[in-house]
Structure formats: C-alpha cells, structure tokens
Structure 1
C-alpha cells in the first residue's frame, strides 16, 4: 500500500494578552517569514482563486475582482484571443517564482514557467534578438521549432527571501520586525503591557490551509493573527481600508476612451463600454502582483512598509527587497496594460560557445556549453543577446490585444466583462429592473489616476466603477 507523505507544517510561537485574548506578536524563523513575504509575490488572479476555496475559514470574495475573474473564467463567453491567453490570466505567472520554489508551504500552485529557444541556437544566436516562447509550437526565423528549454540564471541556488540564521517578530497586523531586545520591549509598550504575568505563551503549527486562511484574514482584518489562531469562527469584516491619495502628472499619460451608462435616479454606473483596450486594462488587473498593487498605492500595508524598512543584511540576495517592494511582471505581459507603471525586467540570453576541431580539415565545430535567461544587463559582455518573446498578444512588436477584436466590450459596476451586444444590454437592464428612462450615457477618458482608482476600488467594493470614477461623474454633472 502506498504511503502518503505527511503534510508540511511550520511551528510558530505566539505571545497572547490574557485579558483581551489578543496576539501581541509571533516569534518566527525563516520558514514562516518566507511564506508570509511570498504573499506579496502572488498575482491578484491567484489570490482570488485561492481565497474562494474552502479551507478552515469560509470562502471569501475580493471586492469586484472575484466577479471579474468569473467573467474571464465563464466557458459560455469565450472572448479572449487564445486559450493560452485565458490560462495566463486565470493562472497568472509569478515573476518571483524562483524565490518561492523552496518554500516549506507553497501557496501558488501555478505550473512553473517554461521558456523555449531554437534548437539551432548555435547558428541563430548572431541574429539579435533571440526569439523565445512559452510554447513549443512557435517557429524561429530559421524555420525550426522553438523547442529547446532554457533556464533562468542560478535558478537552483535561490533560497527564499530572508537568511536562515535570523528570527523575527510578526505583529498582529503582520509587521515584520527583526528580533531584538529593543523591539521586544517596544511591542509590549505599544500594547500597554507592563508585566510578563499579563501574557501567555503558546505554540501553534501552521499548514498550507492555515496560510490560505491567513491570506483571507489579512484581506479583511488588521488583527490577522488573532483572527487566525484565537478561535474566531469566521472572518469579521471590520476593517475599512483607506488608501492614500494618488497624485500623478497625467499630461503625457496614456488614455482610454470609454462611455458610461449611469442611472439618473441615484447616479450609479450601470455599465461602462469601450474598445479592446478598455477590456484589456480591466482583465490585466488579475495578473498584477500584490506587492505591485501596494507599491502603486504607496505602501498602505503594514507588512509592506516593514519589509521596505528591513535592513539589507537580512535578505538572501542584494536585489530581493527591491523586487518585492517594486515588483515587475513576467516578460510576456509587459505591453498588455499601458496604464500602469509596472514593468518587468529587461531579459537577455546568455550563450556560451566552445569549438571542437574537425578531425579532417581545418574548420571548427561550434557547440553550446551554457544557455540561460538573465535580467543582468549584458550589452557590453560577450555572449549576452537581446531577446524577443514571440507568443501571440504578448510581445512588444505586435502589441495585439488580450481580447478578441475588433468589437465593443462592456463592464458592469462590479467588473463583469463581456462583449457588448444589444441582447446583453437588454438582459442586464432586465435583471436590474432599470427602465430606459432612468439611463443617461456620458463619454470621457481615463488615465493612470482613474486606473489606480479602479484597482483600489476593485479590492474592496462591489461598485468598483462608481467608487473609482465618482470624481469624473461629479465633473460631468457640474459641466451640465
């Protein structure tokens, strides 16, 4: 009989205030801190997919992002350019998956990203840029298939995020604080605790399901550890997230033209409609990493701010913190969303060539000894060549859309995206029991300020468009 492997677990020591039944902090080692930090690397689409599943806590919805995810997932309304594109949106790749590879409790179950180059790369390497694909069925300029796997530089030597010999305090709202005597006293002082007799110590074990619960809890509560470990039956939605104002000079920013259909009686948006670029923008929200969301919103998260302040000496590599607090996208998605200032690394292909002398004759026979992708700038280094990702809809050269076109797309207030037809509009209005006489249509352009507003609202509101675009609706009303 086959034996099943025991479920991986991580131990965590909690310090709890007796009278208030509240966690002061947890004392954690590398295993837990790495798992906690890895939450920032998860794309929003992955988070939506994880938290809607049953665990020790009930499934939850993430604002309007859950309905946006369902509209892409709906098999009855196939409107994305390709099935591969659909999979990239529903199971978006993690740009820091190499750092998460050795986590003791790994949340992201997305298949690791694979890249392929021409099997005749020895001869094609001089033709810059080198063509790279995520799929084996693409062709090189030379006519051969792109079917030779190519790895990331040093991918097998990345051991998570923080060093193995450090320990940390994790506060109830998930601040990550290096373990020190000063930090120890400050945490007690901040909770008004003057005597060790006021607290209890307890050790808990964490499984993958509990990390999913942790993710659910931190989306709704500022008392995350208390809600997770001190026997609360469900997530209490008492958290009101307040985002800092987002100021940007929009003079030169990219704009998208949209029309909104609004109710005269209450001012709420029923739906908005626009071309493929509008649908692309909304759908591409699902592949932005959580750390990128927080970065755009100037670090409203306590965990994010504490990581930003964590000294460089605690990290496994020099560039890890920068990638976490200002993360990029996987290379294939660099152009699909022009409104957000989130970019991926510029990649290069490193090829190392050696030559063997022919037995008969004076020529030499070149062969590859190494071939890997690297974000390291290599224009001044021999063997480094620019790369171009050739997958449909995802490369800089073609700049095609995620959704099929040309057509018009509509998005409801809670971000259900579908192709716009007369029947779909009639069906929506009938479902909401809205008479035609209560509707008016307005047209305007949205830029990065409105894009960030929609992203913010999508995390917390079922009326994302009305919440995010209320300032435009007010302007329109005043102008009229």
Structure 2
C-alpha cells in the first residue's frame, strides 16, 4: 500500500471530526478538490454534510423536472422531445388538458426536496406545486341536526381534494380540512432529522466524494487506498483546490451526472488554468 501524507489528509487514520453546526444558508457551498496536475483530473473531493445532502437530493427530482432544469442544454435526447410533444399536442387529445400538462411538465416537487437543493432553488421553485389539501364533511345531516344525530355516525369514510364536494353519505359539503398526523416512529425520525439540520446524512464526519460522485466517510486510510488504486506514486503532483458550488455549478453537476463518470473533473477542470488552482496566489 502506498504510504503518504498530503495536505488533504489528516495525520491519523480516524474519520475527520467536524463541529456540529446548522446547515449553511449561503447561496454557494464549498468543497475541497484533490487534483492530479499531471492529468488535471480530480481524484476526490472533501465535502461537508451540505454538499452530500445536495447530491443525494438530486435523486428526488422527477425526470420531467430534471429535463426542465436542463432545458437549455438539450442533452436528454428523446425526453426533451416528449416534453415538447406535451406542450404542442392539441387540447382535444388530452382528457384534462390543464391538469395533465401541469402534472407532466411540472411534476410535484416535495418541499423537503426543495430544501435540499438550495443551489437550484431559483429554478426549482417554479417547478413546485402546492400540496393538495383534503376535506371531509361535518358528518351532520341537516334533516337530523335538531336531534343531534349524524348521518355519517362519526365514521368519515370519504375525503376529497375539492372543498365543497358533496359527501356521498350525508350529502353535505365536504369543507372540514383533514390534518395528517404522523405515527410515533415517523415523529422520532423527523425529530432526529430536525436535530441534524435536515437532509439525509449526519454532520459527524467530513465526506469523501469521488469523481463519479460515489460518497464515503473521509479518512486517511480511504484516501491512501484510493491513491494506491489509482497508481499515484508522485504525491508532489497533487494539489488541493477549494471551489465554490453555486447554482451554475449545481446545474452542471446534474447535467454531467447523467452522462459521465468523471463528473467533478468535467465540471471544474476548465474553471482555472491547467494545473493551477483558482485559490492559489
């Protein structure tokens, strides 16, 4: 095994500990790249919870939303043509032109996904649809209200997403909004997620993001093993490069992830002079 130490690695082989803090609210995230200046390829990136949450959050985006976010690139081939067809097909051929087009061109993005993709938020907000509300009836039949009797008997077996729809049982307007109540197990998970600052991963270690976007906890051992696997013998050829990840880079990462296994290199290679990190004097 190659035994080395670089500025990107700690001297011990334990995972890097990072102080607990709330997720960044800045519009740009930061990650530290380890680059081989001979090939000008990114070997891996050292990233925090915020970056990993963003990358994992991309998996929650519906395909049509991805196509919309990347529409200027026209890289998704036939998917782009499908979306164009939905736009251009005459209303007469749709069962429900308004709702069908909305569902196909702007599929619902959950609020949790929006919070995990702050770099794409400016675009993603326009893709989000408000969550549907559901209603039930009051359960009181006006004909028997005087006697305090309920036609539905307190057993509300019908809900609707259109306020005012007549209940099939008591024929009264369904106007009482239903509130979702999470079970105890779900509540515990949500509490733990809130304590961790949201997202998916815990902020207990620094993470190692490979060029192909595979993710693992950062440690000196894993970094040395990777360098050995890549046959990197000349450690003097390696340099650290701290880069910012904003909306432009976020879209480029999303685009590159669909067609490449060298994503970090593809996105950041041409953002500086060859072999010279942008944060160097």
Counterpart in the other structure of 1:149: none
Q: Distance between the aligned counterparts of 2:191 and 2:104, measured in 1?
A: 23
Matched, 1:267 2:47: no
2:241 maps to which of 420, 427, 442: 442
The CA deviation at 1:271 is: 0.7
2:159 maps to which of 364, 371, 376: 371
Q: Distance between the aligned counterparts of 2:57 and 2:147, measured in 1?
A: 55
Structure 2 vs 1, CA of residues 307 and 363 (structure 1 numbering), >3 Å: closer, same or farther? Answer: closer
2:68 maps to which of 286, 292, 295: 295
Structure 1: segments with no counterpart, 5+ residues: 1-251
Whether the aligned pair in 1 keeps the contact of 2:240 and 2:277 (CA below 8 Å) is no
Counterpart in the other structure of 1:384: 177
Counterpart in the other structure of 2:223: 425
Structure 2 vs 1, CA of residues 408 and 430 (structure 1 numbering), >3 Å: closer, same or farther? Answer: same
Matched, 1:311 2:109: no
SS of the residue corresponding to residue 258 of structure 1 reads strand
2:130 maps to which of 320, 332, 345: 345
Q: Distance between the aligned counterparts of 2:110 and 2:101, measured in 1?
A: 17
- For normalisation by structure 2, the TM-score amounts to 0.66
Whether the aligned pair in 1 keeps the contact of 2:241 and 2:279 (CA below 8 Å) is no
Q: Distance between the aligned counterparts of 2:278 and 2:116, measured in 1?
A: 33
The CA deviation at 1:417 is: 0.8
Counterpart in the other structure of 1:13: none
> Which of the two has greater strand per residue?
1
SS of the residue corresponding to residue 355 of structure 1 reads coil
The CA deviation at 1:384 is: 3.0
Structure 2 vs 1, CA of residues 332 and 407 (structure 1 numbering), >3 Å: closer, same or farther? Answer: same
Listed one character per residue, the Cα deviations across residues 201-227 of structure 1 (whole Å, up to 9, x for unaligned) are xxxxxxxxxxxxxxxxxxxxxxxxxxx
Describe how 1:174-323 pairs up with structure 2 within 5 A: 254-298=27-71, 300=74, 301-317=80-96, 318-323=98-103
Listed one character per residue, the Cα deviations across residues 119-146 of structure 1 (whole Å, up to 9, x for unaligned) are xxxxxxxxxxxxxxxxxxxxxxxxxxxx
The CA deviation at 1:346 is: 2.2
SS of the residue corresponding to residue 45 of structure 2 reads strand
The CA deviation at 1:411 is: 0.9
Counterpart in the other structure of 1:113: none
Listed one character per residue, the Cα deviations across residues 405-450 of structure 1 (whole Å, up to 9, x for unaligned) are 3221111111111111111111111111113222111212211111
Q: Distance between the aligned counterparts of 2:272 and 2:191, measured in 1?
A: 34
The CA deviation at 1:331 is: 5.7
Matched, 1:325 2:113: no
- For normalisation by structure 1, the TM-score amounts to 0.41
Counterpart in the other structure of 1:143: none
Q: Distance between the aligned counterparts of 2:278 and 2:68, measured in 1?
A: 33
The CA deviation at 1:347 is: 3.0
The CA deviation at 1:388 is: 7.9
2:264 maps to which of 465, 477, 480: 465
